[in-house]
Chain A
Amino acid sequence: MSYLYAAYIATWAIHVAYLSTLLRRYIRLRNEIAEFKGREER
């Protein structure tokens, strides 16, 4: 029975891990854009 939950939890752990890498990349991009815009105004 615990195998069943392990499988379901593992599935979502993998998906969440990938989505968090996407989020991290997106945040880094947004920072780069903000920094770029800051330089442009200067």
Chain B
Amino acid sequence: MKRVFPILAVLTAALLSYALYEALVVAPTEQTMGDVQRIFYYHVPSAWTAFILFSINFVASVVYLIRRSNKADIVALVTAEVGVVFCTVVLVTGPIWARPVWGIWWTWDLRLTLTLVLWLIYVSYLVLRRFSSSGQTPLLAAVLAIFGALDVPLVYFSIWFFRTQHPQPVIGGGGSIDPRMLHVLMINWLAFSCFAALVCWSRYRLEVLRREVDETLALEALLEPRGSQSRTSQTWRAG
């Protein structure tokens, strides 16, 4: 296991570099927007990756509710965190793209707004996990994830209808796409997916280690009362 990781890391870095080269040099220049359009090759794959990660989070949360599996809980935590990171990238690259093209920083573009709402939901998810002092935090987090997932189609429809009533610019070009651009897009998506997978794997191992250490420390405190404490107050404290 341990030896595979550095190899995969190097391969992923190579893939990302190749994808960058394709995006900046090989891809044809867009007619109306010019070179700024190349942000597309980072913006869209990040959005897709974030959505996939959140979908995995939803599945892991459901699994946790049914089986109370510790692994499922860790997967949920990891995909939420990394998903938020990729969402942040989308929310930063979107306005940077919108500004030179449309002259405004923000637009109620469907993908961008959906990403914003998901970002808000999952940031609140992470805050809940951090601040909750209930012993059942994973359970509460899983419930919140399910609420979030139920919300997504409703968000989608509400924004879609809002846009028909209040026409807004579309970032990221709808309609048909040049096959050469599609090719570059897919390469970047593959590269970022591999990158996301590696980051998730690292975070997973970190969390497993963290929980092992916490458990061991808690056990130690339970089994061996500190000298000064037990002599005077005879109280035990866990963790």
Q: Which residues of A contact B (CB under 8 A)?
A: 1, 3-4, 6-8, 10-11, 14-15, 18-19, 22, 25-26, 29, 32-33, 36
| A7–B206 touching, CB < 8 Å | no
Tell me if B's interface is mostly helix, strand, loop or mixed. Answer: helix
Chain A CB within 10 A, most for which of B39, B199, B217, B220 = B39
B76–chain A nearest beta-carbon distance, Å: 17
Chain A positions within 8 Å of B216 at CB level? 36
Task: Assess whether B39 is in contact with A7, with CB atoms less than 8 Å apart.
Answer: yes
A30 to chain B, nearest CB (A): 9
| Docked CA distance A18–B89 (Å) | 11
Number of interface residues of B (CB under 8 A): 29
Residues 31-90 of B at the A interface (beta carbon under 8 Å): 35-36, 38-39, 42-43, 46, 82, 85, 88-89
Question: Of residues A6, A7, A36, which shows the largest number of chain B Cβ atoms within 10 Å of its Cβ?
Answer: A7
Shortest Cβ gap from A40 to chain B (Å) = 9
